[in-house]
A and B are shown apart, each in its own frame.
Chain A
Amino acid sequence: MSKAFTPTAARPGVITANDLREGHNVWMCDEGWTADPKRATVFEDEAIAEIALLEAIGQADRVVGPYLAEVRRGPDGPEPTHFREAFRQTGPSNYFHGIQAEKAQAANV
């Protein structure tokens, strides 16, 4: 599990949590929190990441359980390195529900 993960330049990370009111997965971004993991702020410095994590923990009126998760940089933004985080970014594999469905819906609007 990635909860004790600390990012470095070689192994960058993002901060992720669940939305308090609705429960869906969110990622810390420059403007606050986003449901789009590709827009997450990428941390490469342990100290900066830990300050940001403390800031996230301080936003308990907005999110639940923030933690640092490892990513790699991809052409469209950060990508998960572990399958658990990959599932959190898409949704379950038995139904087209969760973030994958919301993305598809947004694309069709």
Chain B
Amino acid sequence: MFDIRPVETDYVRHRAQQFRDQVARRLDGSLTEDEFKPLRLMNGVYLQLHAYMLRVAIPYGTISPDQMRMLAHLAATYDKGYGHWTTRQNIQFNWPKLVDIPDMLDDLASAGMHAIQTSGNTIRNVTTDAFAGAAKDEVTDPRPYAELLRSWSTDHAEFQWLPRKFKIAISGGSRDRALVAAHDIGLRLVEQDGKAGFEVWVGGGLGRTPMLGQVIRDFLPEEDLLPYIEAIIATYNLSGRRDNKYKARIKITVSERGLDVFKAETEEEFLRRRRDFHGADREALAIFKDRFAAPAFRNAGSDGYQAERQANPAFRSWADTNLHDHKVDGYASVIVTFKSPGETPGDASAEQMRLLADLAEKYGHNDLRISHDQNVVLPHVHKSDLAALYLALREAGLATANAGLTSDIIACPGMDYCALATARSIPIAQEIADHFRAEGLEEEIGKLNIRISGCINACGHHHLGHIGILGLDRAGVENYQITLGGDGYDIPAIGQRAGAGFPAEEVVPAIDRLMRAYLEVRESASERFLDAYRRLGPAPFKAALYPEAAHA
């Protein structure tokens, strides 16, 4: 039964204390590693290639300035001065000591934060559009529903030991920016006869068996959200495979059993479950809708913005690239990319986090978002403040005008940090970004989405990149497979493997050939690489990647 917990701080503190006790019992030998491992994973603690790693939850990527300062404090106090934004809108700290993690969880609890359910076979962080509540094309703000799902799924007794991890994304824009089709459950807010509801997708996921989800319900009224989601997960909990870790995700359950069978079971379960919901969920939703009310937007002129655009080409270039249309006249959403040349995609220093917290207070209605593409968004900035904001960001090296361009690469930590990785991702991302900026080709190429994963588990979402790169271990040498034509947004598509993999040093030349071939064949500057690929098919691009084969 769903119940509202208006103040969760006590619960979070309690969980931190529990973990402190568990660590103490592990250190004094009362718990074996086999007993301790699932407990630490429940609290987001992994053991990685060089150290422990703590993954902290940032529910649907929404974070306050004070919470951002808390992350900065953790980075500076317990880590090496930085953290890493993940592709699921969370943050990872790469160097904590196990003995310090209980203190980190206490500190987080004081800011209303935690690491609960950031690992383990449970419902993970619910993700959404980084422009939620701000985007011009938004149908309905997804955050109240995301908060309802978060609140309901946290410590949900029935779903703590699912066959495998479970990821939900929710999108409120007329354009999907939450990768709905690539999640275990994807929800798209739609309206029918003036009523808000959801198009419900199920069975999507990447990893070693990438699949796009399927629509299980065309329209689910909003009041049925929790019972229906509960019915899907309860059905999966019983029918999902537990004999083989690699066949345990819901995408396999749905594809093996068939959507019709899975849907019939879900609908039957839904009728049973709905009887147990007596309205607390709907009351909670009403509270959350109030909580996510729009800030007090200013009604001011933006002449200064236009003047600065005319006067300052660098500002104009940044504004053309890194702003997103806002639903309120005079406002814009600002994308602060963490993809400066030479930097690690998604890494933020404590100083940068503190600056963003200050800037959000000064110019951004106290709102910050972590985007799934490892950037930070200030969702509500008045255009008259953009010039000052740009200056402050530029001084901190955070004003790179590259949102959505070649160097705005999504990359997992790869074998520089991850114990599961089969090759490195970060140096490949850095080399590609450096190369195309040095060649001056980035602006000419235009919108391009490169995604890199350091293993088949696909945390870098390489299948969804226009260009995807997958790092593998081939006979003891790092080797990179390239996929083409993936799309997480408008027309969801899994990228197709282009051919044999490349050694690390041949990746940049291969991508360079690919881009030059694209520039040759595109019909106009507005035809993106992905559009040209869809129009022409893979042949001309494979020929560019493998010139020897083409001439053989």
Residues of A bordering B, CB below 8 Å? 18, 20-25, 60-61, 64-65, 81-84, 87-88, 91-95, 97-99
Contact = CB atoms under 8 A, between A and B. Distances in A.
B27 interface: yes
A21 B416 contact: no
A81 B477 CA distance: 11
B142 to A, nearest CB: 34
Nearest to B26: A20
Contact of A94 (B47, B99, B416, B478): B416
Contacts of B80: 95, 97
Which of the listed residues A60, A61, A97 has the most CB atoms from chain B within 10 Å of its own CB?
A: A97
Nearest to B344: A94
Interface string B411-431: 000011100000010110010
Given A87-B415, A94-B347, A94-B430, 20 more contacts: A20-B26, A21-B27, A21-B98, A22-B51, A23-B50, A23-B95, A24-B50, A24-B51, A25-B50, A60-B33, A64-B33, A65-B47, A84-B415, A87-B49, A93-B424, A94-B344, A95-B80, A97-B95, A98-B51, A99-B50
Given A84-B415, A87-B416, A23 B52 contact: yes
Interface of B: 26-27, 29, 32-33, 47-52, 80, 94-99, 344, 347, 415-417, 424, 426-427, 430, 473, 476-478
Given A21-B99, A87-B49, A93-B416, A82 B476 contact: yes
Given A20-B98, A21-B98, A60-B32, A93 B426 contact: yes
B49 A88 contact: yes
A82 B27 CA distance: 32
A91 B27 contact: no
Which of the listed residues A22, A25, A61, A99 has the most CB atoms from chain B within 10 Å of its own CB?
A: A22
21 contacts: A20-B26, A20-B98, A21-B99, A23-B50, A23-B97, A25-B50, A60-B29, A61-B27, A61-B29, A65-B33, A83-B415, A83-B473, A83-B478, A84-B415, A92-B94, A93-B416, A94-B344, A94-B426, A95-B344, A97-B95, A98-B51
B98 A22 contact: yes
Nearest to A84: B415
A18 B417 contact: no
Contacts, number: 74
Contacts of B50: 23-25, 88, 91-92, 97-99
Nearest to B426: A94
Contacts of B416: 87, 92-94
Q: Is the interface of A mostly helix, strand, loop or mixed?
A: loop
B49 A83 contact: no
A82 B430 CA distance: 23
Contacts of B473: 83-84
A88 B32 CA distance: 24
Contact of B97 (A22, A82, A88, A92): A22
A60 B30 CA distance: 11
A83 B98 CA distance: 26
A93 B49 CA distance: 13
B476 A92 contact: no
B457 to A, nearest CB: 14
A15 B399 CA distance: 46
Contacts of B430: 94
Contacts of A20: 26-27, 98
Contacts of B98: 20-23
B535 to A, nearest CB: 37
B355 to A, nearest CB: 20
Nearest to B52: A23
A23 B29 contact: no
A92 B417 contact: yes
